[in-house]
A and B are shown apart, each in its own frame.
Chain A
């Protein structure tokens, strides 16, 4: 399986397995993010969500991981750990990296620039999408690590096959 090479444990942070939880470590480069999202979205506990929730989760994670690659690891890639735990009405997601802190230890505001048809923006959508689609978004810098945490509302859990994970 193509994605397996990027899957390994985060040795200094063992996580007790929990039902339906996802714990994935990947390298902070664009190709690994591309492969890693495929692996993650195929996990049974995610695959069983509604298409709308899956779409939101994939958009959020892609933007968060792209930002880590582009900014935190701008001087060279390092590990990114994604931990997703299940609650009845939401997914709680943590993303850790060991790269550079966010400027002023603040998340960007992520406001959408006005769309001038004659001068359309080619970027700057990432944080807008993250802030629009997440709830309870928080950022902390601790022990030289970045920790982004957020939740994603879940519409339906009764079709999820947790045992298959």
Chain B
């Protein structure tokens, strides 16, 4: 995982194709490290993540809570199965979800 300062917000990319019980702790720890910035907006790019289980979902929720008040975690590029998990658990009503990164950010990585 790595981050990129987009000035308006912090972009976080997840090179792994799965966020599951085996990787949830690492994901939470890395999110905590990467978000030690002053950005009010953090955008998590999930376009390479084909699968996320409830442990992964919990890890994303923990990451959002860890940002603290006044900061926001947004999601981008949910693949079909990841989108299904967010939709069924109604977590899609909690997060701002972008279909893809705005133009100009695609080459951010």
Contact = CB atoms under 8 A, between A and B. Distances in A.
Chain A bound to chain B: yes
B74 interface: no
Contact of A117 (B22, B57, B94): B94
Contacts of A52: 80
B85 A129 contact: yes
Contacts of B88: 128-129, 132-133
B89 A59 contact: no
A144 B50 CA distance: 36
B106 interface: no
B93 interface: yes
A62 interface: yes
The SS class assigned to the B binding surface is: helix
> Which of the listed residues A52, A58, A122 has the most CB atoms from chain B within 10 Å of its own CB?
A122
Interface in B38-89: 51, 53-55, 57-58, 61-62, 64-65, 80-81, 84-85, 88-89
Interface residues of B, number: 25
Contacts of B22: 30-31, 33-34
A129 B89 contact: yes
B21 interface: yes
Given A121-B61, A125-B58, A62 B20 contact: yes
Given A55-B80, A55-B81, A112 B90 contact: yes
B80 A126 contact: no
Interface in A47-72: 51-52, 54-56, 58-59, 62-63, 66, 69-70
Contacts of B93: 115
A123 B54 contact: yes
Contacts of B6: none
5 contacts: A33-B22, A55-B84, A70-B21, A128-B89, A132-B88
Interface of B: 18, 20-23, 51, 53-55, 57-58, 61-62, 64-65, 80-81, 84-85, 88-91, 93-94
Interface of A: 30-31, 33-34, 37, 51-52, 54-56, 58-59, 62-63, 66, 69-70, 112, 115, 117, 120-123, 125-126, 128-129, 132-133
Given A34-B22, A120-B94, 19 more contacts: A34-B20, A37-B51, A51-B81, A52-B80, A56-B84, A59-B53, A59-B85, A62-B51, A62-B54, A66-B54, A112-B89, A120-B64, A122-B61, A123-B54, A125-B54, A125-B58, A126-B53, A126-B54, A128-B88
